[in-house]
Amino acid sequence: NAGVMQNPRHLVRRRGQEARLRCSPMKGHSHVYWYRQLPEEGLKFMVYLQKENIIDESGMPKERFSAEFPKEGPSILRIQQVVRGDSAAYFCASSQGRVTPYNEQFFGPGTRLTVL
């Protein structure tokens, strides 16, 4: 039973390029969460998606960042025109949805983005 998968594990981009991060949730999970972890900081919530719907994007920067979770295929976090400040580890988590008593989120191994 594969866990949450993310790829690539490491991504290097030059300033101004686009970064595309992929997340395949655990089998049976239809809820996906993206988090960003800056160096020496905790994980910060970015966005929560269900299949074909963005439910909560309150943590997403207003510009350059977008996320999708299509009916088929992985969830994608896209960062356009990357800047050095985007360098961070991006974690994806998935869950089954609201299952009492707790909707446990299972985390992927993360994508470490480095912007040169």
Partner 1 sequence: EDKVVQSPLSLVVHEGDTVTLNCSYEVTNFRSLLWYKQEKKAPTFLFMLTSSGIEKKSGRLSSILDKKELFSILNITATQTGDSAVYLCAVEAPTPFGNEKLTFGTGTRLTIIP
In whole angstroms, what is the distance from residue 42 CA to residue 115 CA?
Answer: 20
Between residues 45 and 87, which has the closer beta carbon with respect to partner 1? 45
Choose, by CB under 8 A, the member of 17, 22, 43, 66 that binds partner 1.
Answer: 43
In whole angstroms, what is the distance from residue 39 CA to residue 113 CA?
Answer: 11
Choose, by CB under 8 A, the member of 8, 20, 30, 55 that binds partner 1.
Answer: 55
Check residue 94 for interaction with partner 1 (CB under 8 A): no
Check residue 109 for interaction with partner 1 (CB under 8 A): yes
Q: Which span (12-20, 21-29, 48-56, 73-81) binds partner 1, by CB under 8 A?
A: 48-56
In whole angstroms, what is the distance from residue 78 CA to residue 46 CA?
Answer: 12
- Contacts with partner 1 by CB under 8 A: the residue count is 27
For residue 108, which phi and psi values (nearest 5 degrees)? -85, 175
Q: List C-alpha distances in Å: 33 to 12, 29, 49.
A: 23, 11, 6
Choose, by CB under 8 A, the member of 110, 111, 113, 115 that binds partner 1.
Answer: 110
Give the residue from 48, 79, 47 showing the smallest Cα distance to 64.
79
Residues engaged in binding partner 1 (CB under 8 A)? 3-4, 31, 33, 35, 40-45, 48, 55-56, 58, 91, 98, 101-110
